[in-house]
Structure 1
Amino acid sequence: MLTHIPFPALPVPPSWFPGHMLQFQKMLPALLNKTDVVLELRDSRLPLTSINRNFEGALQKWRRERRQGGAAESTSPSLDTGVSRPTNGPVSQRVVVFSKRDLVPEWGIKVCSGSICGLAVLTEERVQPFQRAMASKFPDQKVFFASWNRARDIRALSELLVNVAREHPYRSELNVLVVGMPNVGKSTLLNALRNIGIAGPTPKALRTSAQPGMTRVLSTRLKLSVDPLVYAYDSPGVMLPFLGKGMVGAERGVKLALIAGIKEGLYDTEALASYLLYRLNVLDPVSPAYLKLLPPDTPPLLDVQEFLALLARRLCMLKRGGIPDSARAAVWFIKWWREEGGLASASAPALPDYSGVPGLETYRRGWGFDLEWNVDAAEASRYDEATIQAKMEDCIDRFEEAGSLEEREGGSISSTQEKKRLKEQQKARQRARSKARLASRKSS
């Protein structure tokens, strides 16, 4: 078992922001004017890293303007009865959908077994630590977890949209816009919602791919429900123009590359394998998911080269002279994690069994790849849902504080983007001066 897990060295993050992403980002405010519900998709494994801050300004402005416009007309008395009734007021629902819920430990979403860490679950309200943590920090967002291969998840999300439409019966239709980072499953979700909401055989409406960037333009309207009428638009995945400076940007880029959110080939696979090994160790330091790939009785490993050498021999990936092919093993390891290893790592317990480890005072725990915290060995016996929620809230607070500090220090903008911005400002000032001089000549 591992009691100390060192953080790996990470490469400088690449830049990947194709023109179609910039084009959609500029279109977003106009699209929101005809949108009633925004489905913002994020990856459950990266619940914080997959937040796209480029959307925040436009989405908050949309909610604010809709609320101001609809405050006076949310209800109105009937002329003949005097009883309040729904009106055709504006709708502005924001639903954050976390995809791939089956790839994160269930104890962070909902405790189904009736207990956690040996403690009885008393109420339904206490068994959703991550949802409650998000509701505490982002009260204006409705959080929904789903896995596209679970029909009940898709049906529940479809019913959520239908219920929003039924709450506004005087609107002729409900328009939904799906947004998010690349490769979080937007097109796959819409195909599944369409299949659930439309009776009879429903052909696949949108192309899907395991590689990011398949959707490059806004889709035509897709009908998701007939009664009431619900339509949706698919949108291109939008990456951050700049992943950030220093270790913050480096880790953000590696995380997104591991979930295939960044174009293949921009990262060295051995660097990704090193970080993946670290994360799997944090999720379960006693019996990490990768041990099933190695010879029996192999202990958890910290060194990625040692791990890849063992894995290459196990898979018979050898170069001339019997030398392990670490590069091939790294590619295989990442593919294994994306296809089946994620399911194995999702079975990690809320607390590892560290009984009998002398002198252990603290150790690391994690949920997904974004939430990580220290556990005092002395508090392990009192480790319940409220404790997990508090730990998760601290992680969210640190993430928000780091994001605010990054923005204040200009860390969210690259030096190239800053030079371009300054150059555009200079040109704008020159145009303003030229117009002023021209106006002065005309007046004289």
Structure 2
Amino acid sequence: MLSRFLPPPLPPPQSWYPGHMTQFSRILPALLARTDVVLELRDARLPLTSVNKNFEGALNRWRAERVRLSEHAAASSPNASARVCERVVVFNKRDLVPEWGVVPFQKAMAAKFPDQRTMFVSWNRPNDLRTLSGLLVNIARKYPHIPELNVLVVGMPNVGKSTLLNALRDVGIPGPTPKALRTSAQPGLTKALSTRLKLSQDPLVYSFDTPGVMLPFLGRGDRGAERGVKLALIAGIKEGLYDHEALAAYLHYRLNALDSTKPAYLTLLPPGTMPTDDLHEFLGSLARRLGMLQRGGVPDFPRAAGWFVRWWRDEGNAASTRRTGWGLDLEWRAEADTSDAAACVERFMAQEAQEEDEGGAVSTTQERKRIRDDKRAKRALRTKARLAAKRAG
């Protein structure tokens, strides 16, 4: 496991939070007020790192408000119908992770978060698309009193929101359907809320695509640095903020840790090549295999590193034949039972909670802003109290 390999030095986390992300975060509560179902997309290769914790507050308030309105309506009229309030967590790009880990992870998530439905899908797997489309249709039919079901799709950059919605539209609407949303392999293409996209004719199901929203601050120390590198590996952060050799170093280390005897990268090298923990040795072998040589036959390490990262983005770890690890967030053996997956999830969430308690999830700038806002709020309360006292006198 990981203790056998020394992690490489990691670059400090890079900040990437353009203005359109701030704007969307501000309007999210208003959007949720007219939303029935939230589809929260995450990347199956990083099922926990690709969670955007900044959504949690708005989603929890949305759920609480829907419950309050339903209870109020029931108190006024016994025949009143409940408000629709469904949250479905969709782990996209299923084809890029080993299939044997999907069910144990889903069971672990169901035990930890019983209020969330989870699904693993891939836009190029028709059965996955039909299952997800059927879920939305069944939710709509469960509430026949509403004229249409409104779905809001949220998630981090480059988790595949637009691509998945285009594919769902093809499944849900009979006949040929032109591509409705632009897509890109680079994060940040969608910068504004999309127009309504019809996903089903009968019953009516509509959806909105939204901009991917990154965390404003990736964290301090090694944990923040690792979070940044992981998100850069799945192209969730603007290209160019991270050097490909730094990404290749971390990826090489993790693939070795997941399977020390037959790491996935061996399929790229000549038969009989042995695993190595030396990045330059690996990149040199890869460069020679691909013909990426400079003058004098010197391996072109930057080109080989970039190719290695792009290969993993396209192939993931799904092709691993030895079942000794699953994903870059979690590790357990295939022959283990579901409790191992649950323990992995629990450890990850405990580390996240500890980081938040220690203030590592909030930047110095954010903390200063919070203190400044608190002072302004206290001054406003004191001013209000003084004015009330004067009026009373």
TM category (shorter chain) comes to over 0.9
Q: Is the 8 A contact 2:150 2:205 kept in 1?
A: yes
AA aligned opposite 2:355: E
CA distance 1:74–1:95, change in 2 (3 Å): farther
The match for 1:366 among 322, 325, 344 is 325
Match of 1:63 in 2: 63
Match of 2:111 in 1: 136
Match of 1:25 in 2: 25
For 1:424 and 1:177, the matched residues in 2 are separated by 30
The match for 2:94 among 101, 107, 114 is 101
- Summarize the alignment of residues 38-187 of structure 1 with structure 2, pairs less than 5 Å apart: 38-71=38-71, 88-109=81-102, 128-187=103-162
CA distance 1:347–1:96, change in 2 (3 Å): same
Secondary structure of residue in 2 paired with 1:31? helix
Match of 1:256 in 2: 231
Identity of aligned residues (%): 63
CA distance 1:401–1:3, change in 2 (3 Å): closer
Runs of 5+ consecutive residues of structure 1 not aligned to the other structure: 79-84, 110-127, 352-364, 376-382
For 2:189 and 2:90, the matched residues in 1 are separated by 20
1:4 positional shift: 2.5
Match of 1:389 in 2: 338
Match of 2:318 in 1: 346
For 2:346 and 2:2, the matched residues in 1 are separated by 27
CA distance 1:61–1:436, change in 2 (3 Å): closer
Secondary structure of residue in 2 paired with 1:367? coil
Q: Is the 8 A contact 2:123 2:163 kept in 1?
A: yes
Q: Is the 8 A contact 1:279 1:369 kept in 2?
A: yes
- Summarize the alignment of residues 230-241 of structure 1 with structure 2, pairs less than 5 Å apart: 230-241=205-216
For 2:70 and 2:370, the matched residues in 1 are separated by 37
For 2:272 and 2:322, the matched residues in 1 are separated by 23
Secondary structure of residue in 2 paired with 1:17? coil
Point out the structure with max Rg over C-alpha: 1
The match for 1:410 among 328, 338, 359 is 359
Secondary structure of residue in 1 paired with 2:313? helix
How many residues matched? Answer: 393
For 1:320 and 1:350, the matched residues in 2 are separated by 38
Match of 2:375 in 1: 426
For 1:108 and 1:213, the matched residues in 2 are separated by 30
Secondary structure of residue in 1 paired with 2:218? coil
Match of 2:275 in 1: 300
Match of 1:358 in 2: none
For 1:157 and 1:138, the matched residues in 2 are separated by 19
Match of 2:311 in 1: 336
1:353-411 alpha-carbon deviations (Å, 9 max, x no partner)? xxxxxxxxxxxx421111025x7xxxxxxx74xx3311111111111111111111111
For 2:233 and 2:2, the matched residues in 1 are separated by 23
Match of 2:15 in 1: 15
1:202 positional shift: 0.9
CA distance 1:150–1:70, change in 2 (3 Å): same
- More off after superposition, 90-99 vs 421-430: 421-430
For 1:152 and 1:429, the matched residues in 2 are separated by 55
1:438 positional shift: 6.8
CA distance 1:409–1:4, change in 2 (3 Å): closer
For 1:423 and 1:282, the matched residues in 2 are separated by 45
Q: Is the 8 A contact 1:183 1:213 kept in 2?
A: yes
For 2:21 and 2:204, the matched residues in 1 are separated by 29
TM-score by length of 2: 0.93
Q: Is the 8 A contact 2:70 2:81 kept in 1?
A: no
For 1:95 and 1:433, the matched residues in 2 are separated by 44
For 2:391 and 2:3, the matched residues in 1 are separated by 78
AA aligned opposite 1:425: D
Runs of 5+ consecutive residues of structure 2 not aligned to the other structure: none
Superposed CA RMSD:
2.5
